[in-house]
Amino acid sequence: MADLMTRRDRKAGRITFTRPQALNALDHDMALAIHAALADWRDDDAVALVIIDAEGDRAFCAGGDIAAVYRAGLAGDHQVGRDFFRDEYRMNARIADYPKPVVAFMQGFVMGGGVGVGGHASHRIVGDSTQVAMPETGIGLIPDVGGSWLLGHAPGRLGEYLGLTGGRMGPGDAIFAGFADTYLPEAAWPDLIDQLAETGDPGRIKGKPRPDAPLEGADLQAFGGRTVGDIMAALEAAGDEATLKVLRRNSGLSMAATLALVRAARGDQSLRDSLAREYRFTYRATAESDFLEGVRAQLIDKDRKPDWQADASDAHVRAMLAPLGDDDLKWEESR
């Protein structure tokens, strides 16, 4: 397909994002193609490992291409979004559970859906241009694609901070937070990719010392508050207007649900538990959250002035994350 290239290269299965003009945004067909390629190579003895990379220097994958989800939701068709998120999450789980090494080379923007592809690989490589983020609270959604799992397992209160603010991480912070494993200057990537394809040996990955991680020394104790309101009150007491300004721009419902998701993920046994919980929110998102308004303001009209209206009460958060019965995310087809 035009937006994604899958092929065999010596001892490697290769997946390459090929829509740099759209910052390699991930659409439904691309998610299905990644899922199918991984299925094809799973039992192929000639494929020793999988390499995932992207064309262009601006982005590995800057997020999900949700234009179709937005248009359908606006017209009252909520199934388009449900189908997209279901298949995307199954693909995320397949990457995480894959029995062969998966090596992701993540340059530039790695956000949302890009984290769902690269962030669950067994070997995650970042370079100087890398900017990782889960900015979904700014569009009325939640850190999905397994983002709540990664955030929940970040050190200290870093998960709450990153999830609520959508803050960006450079290569050092991405490694510190557990979203990446290895730093290697991007000029060295083509040679390493060639070695991996030739040998099928992930032992060829030799990183450089981790760059500085500014978040490692950040005081994030305010994000230990029980509720978003408690967190904002603590930030006000500390005089942290810069962080408060960010939080005040985001959806109240999305932030409250994100707080619940990140904390619930700390007790999950696997990524699949977190994905299943995220799906309960995104299944309902086009009908019962700020998502359509957030996409309109940030991505469609680009006026950056969302009119958040969704109920952010504890009761509504519980309702958004409540089991879906027969519609809960199922995994049989993703194994």
Q: What is the DSSP string of 237-249?
A: HHT-HHHHHHHHH
Tokens of 201: 């040996």
Q: Which CATH class is domain 4-334?
A: alpha beta
Confidence (pLDDT) at 333 = 53
Q: In the 3-class helix/strand/coil scheme, how is 146-205 assigned residue by residue? A: CHHHHHHCCCCCHHHHHHHHCCCECHHHHHHHCCCCEECCHHHHHHHHHHHHHHCCHHHC
DSSP 119: T
DSSP 121: S
Burial of 4 (0-12, 13-18, 19+ CB in 10 A): buried
Asked if residues 62 and 24 have their Cβ atoms less than 8 Å apart, the reply is: yes
Asked if residues 284 and 320 have their Cβ atoms less than 8 Å apart, the reply is: yes
Determine the longest span between alpha carbons in the chain, in angstroms: 60
3-class state of residue 60 by DSSP: strand
Measured over the CA atoms of residue 11, residue 331, residue 17 and residue 178, the dihedral's sign is negative
3-class state of residue 283 by DSSP: helix
Confidence (pLDDT) at 2 = 83
3-class state of residue 50 by DSSP: strand
Confidence (pLDDT) at 335 = 42
Cα 187 from Cα 197, distance rounded (Å): 17
Query: Which pTM value belongs to this model?
Result: 0.96
| Residue 15, phi then psi, degrees to nearest 5 | -125, 120
Domain residue ranges in the chain? 4-334
Cα 73 from Cα 129, distance rounded (Å): 35
Residues 6+ apart with CB under 8 A from 214: 170, 172, 173
Cα 284 from Cα 147, distance rounded (Å): 18
Confidence (pLDDT) at 82 = 98
CA 240 to each of CA 162, 245, 246: distance values in angstroms, whole numbers, following the listed order? 16, 9, 11
Beta pairing, strands 109-111 & 131-133: parallel
Tokens of 108: 């530039």
3-class state of residue 141 by DSSP: coil
Per-residue pLDDT of the chain (335 residues; tens, 9 = 90+): 789 999 999 999 999 999 999 999 999 999 999 999 999 999 999 999 999 999 999 999 999 988 899 999 999 999 999 999 999 999 999 999 999 999 999 999 999 999 999 999 999 999 999 999 999 999 999 999 999 999 999 999 999 999 999 999 999 999 999 999 999 999 999 999 999 999 999 999 999 999 999 999 999 999 999 999 999 999 999 999 999 999 999 999 999 999 999 999 999 999 999 999 999 999 999 999 999 999 999 999 999 999 999 999 999 999 999 999 999 999 865 44
